[in-house]
Amino acid sequence: MKTLESLRPKEILLARARELERILRSRDLTIETFADPLDEIQQAAELELAIETADRTSAKLAEIRLALDRLADGTYGICADCDEDIAPNRLRAVPWASRCIRCQEAFEAQSEMPDVEESDTHTSRKGLQDAA
């Protein structure tokens, strides 16, 4: 893809990875005990939110590392599902994208379906691993 050179995806991905690593290192997930049960409930809710946020941050960092791997092996900018080029505008918006917009929308629509067959679940899990 000729237009990817102007995007400098490696620098963008590395900067975002450093930022997410810094965020993860600075997270305080300590558990405190309080005499007041309401304070304990609030602390538990805050801890749960912090853990969920750390999980999302870790997942995003994994996606970025996979994008860096794709850069290294020459598959960056190629859809993992249909092998077509991912639009440069999409890569500008989501530099870690592993799918073109059409395949990403199909993937998300399939993920939202409640009754997924077992064979489709395997495919979805592989897709999640590819996205991460």
Statement: the pTM of the whole predicted model exceeds 0.85: no
d(CA 26, CA 108): 31
Q: Which residue reads 């912090």 in tokens? A: 50
> What number of other Cβ atoms are within 10 A of residue 103's Cβ?
19
Q: What is the pLDDT along the chain (132 residues), one digit of tens a residue?
A: 444 444 488 999 999 999 999 988 887 766 677 778 888 888 888 888 888 999 999 999 999 999 999 999 999 999 999 999 999 999 999 999 999 999 999 999 998 876 545 444 444 444 554 544
Structural domains in the chain plus CATH codes? 2-131 (1.20.120.910)
